[in-house]
Amino acid sequence: MKYRRLVAASGVLLLVSACQGRERPRGSFPTDTGASPSGDAASSDDAWSGPGADAEMWGDAATPTDDGGSDTGTTTDAGTSMPDSSAPPDTSTSPDTSVPTCPPAPGALAIVEVMVASQSGTDRGEWFEVVNTGACTIDLAGLEIGSPTSDLTPVTHSVTAGRVSPGGHFVFALSGDPADNHDLPFDYVYGTGSRDDVFLGNTGDVLTIAYGGLTLDRIEWTDADFVRGMSMTFPRGASPADNDDLGLWCDASSVYSTRDGVFYGTPGAPNDTCP
């Protein structure tokens, strides 16, 4: 049996039996502004015969066009580009490559910079910085910041929110007021402006971070270990596991603010190197 290819006004490809005159829709051409599909599909002299002439055995060809242009469907035997209306929509998504989130854990958070005193007298410009040395993003909610009073009474603050990515730095500030913290770039404020806040003692003190009752890191200093207006900094490139050795620390040399003075440190950035 022979079939002829005809294109109806609607753009539907019709196969017409030369013997019985029955029409079989085979697909639709993309609508266009008067352009005829390639391959002269409107020719009435183009016919198929021989093996495979039975239309019930035919299937749409899947050979893509290679004319350098955009192809939005499949290709017929005559090279006519048609949209593949039988293909299911592409609902695939890219693999989830996001970094997993985990709680604070020993060996994953290290204190690497501390501003014990930004100025003389009343001082709410204190701050400190931690770095994430682990492989997952740390959810800091529930982290306990602690520093005792001069009579060793424990004072703590429980962090309510915050995340730090692997290798990232996170700055905790006593005050979020730029007039108090000298325009400090910070990530979280642990002070409330009350006398019960966590303060860093100028005559010597200890700063701890803990989670679930387990101390993750601690730094201890005396009044001879820091200079007002300069943060104590653990050198860039040194192993955070060695940060309990204050002999490796030094005074910061980079300026982060000149508001009401000159203030040295690298809050939120890689630390200075030490001599």
Rounded distance between C-alpha atoms, residue 188 and residue 30, angstroms? 57
Same domain for 108 and 78, yes or no, is no
Same domain for 50 and 152, yes or no, is no
Q: pLDDT tens digits, residue range 185-230? A: 999 999 999 999 999 999 999 999 999 999 999 999 999 999 999 9
Same domain for 114 and 30, yes or no, is no
SS (H, E, C) 174-222: CCCCHHHHCCCCCCEECCCCCCCCCCCCCCEEEEEEEECCEEEEEEEEE
- pLDDT band at residue 260, thresholds of 50, 70 and 90? very high
Q: Which domain holds residue 76?
A: 1-85
46 vs 123: which has the higher pLDDT: 123
In a domain, 141, yes or no: yes
Six-digit token string for 32: 């266009």
Whether residue 267 contacts residue 254, with contact meaning beta carbons closer than 8 Å, is answered with no
Residue 235's domain is classified under what CATH number?
A: 2.60.40.1260
In a domain, 91, yes or no: no
Rounded distance between C-alpha atoms, residue 143 and residue 237, angstroms? 25
pLDDT of residue 111: 98
pLDDT of residue 17: 45
Rounded distance between C-alpha atoms, residue 36 and residue 11, angstroms? 10
Same domain for 19 and 154, yes or no, is no
Same domain for 69 and 205, yes or no, is no
Instruction: Using alpha carbons, select from 129, 131, 242, 243 the residue that is nearest to residue 190.
Output: 129
pLDDT of residue 98: 76
Same domain for 166 and 57, yes or no, is no
Same domain for 66 and 142, yes or no, is no
Which residues, in sequence order, are bridge partners of residue 231? none
In a domain, 233, yes or no: yes
Same domain for 62 and 148, yes or no, is no
Instruction: Using alpha carbons, select from 203, 184, 206, 204 the residue that is nearest to residue 124.
Output: 184
Domain end marker among 29, 57, 85: 85
Q: Which residue shows structure tokens 């006593």?
A: 174
Rounded distance between C-alpha atoms, residue 114 and residue 129, angstroms? 6
Number of domains in the chain: 2
In a domain, 96, yes or no: no
Reply yes or no on whether the pLDDT at 2 is more than 80.
no
Which residues, in sequence order, are bridge partners of residue 101? 137
4 vs 136: which has the higher pLDDT: 136
Q: pLDDT tens digits, residue range 10-45? A: 454 444 444 444 444 444 434 444 443 444 444 334
98 vs 1: which has the higher pLDDT: 98
Same domain for 130 and 241, yes or no, is yes
In a domain, 152, yes or no: yes
- pLDDT band at residue 120, thresholds of 50, 70 and 90? very high
Same domain for 178 and 216, yes or no, is yes
In a domain, 215, yes or no: yes
